[in-house]
Amino acid sequence: MKIGKPRRVYTVEPVRIPVPAEPDKAPPPAKPVPSK
């Protein structure tokens, strides 16, 4: 990919790394309610 010549170099240290965490485990499925 052609994006031209380098202009400058800098460092970026995000306060929060922008990578989503693994989702929490899904809750167990609700037990079926027996019909009367």
Partner 1 sequence: MSLAFEHTAPDFIEPVLGWRAWLVVERNGAPRLRSLFVPTIWRPRAELVAECLCPRVLPLPRVLRRPRHDAPGRRCECGVYATDLKTTLRYLRNARGLDDRPLARVLGRVSLWGTVVECDRGWRASHAYPAEIVVPARSLGGDPVVPLEEVALGLSDYGVAVRLVEAGRPKELLEALASERAPEAA
Look at the block and give the residue holding tokens 């499925």: 29
Least CB distance to partner 1 at residue 4 (A): 3
Is 24 near partner 1 (CB under 8 A)?
no
Least CB distance to partner 1 at residue 2 (A): 8
Which CB, 2 or 31, lies closer to partner 1? Answer: 2
* Structure token digits, residue 17: 């790394």
Count CA atoms closer than 13 A to 19's CA, side-chain side.
2
Least CB distance to partner 1 at residue 21 (A): 7
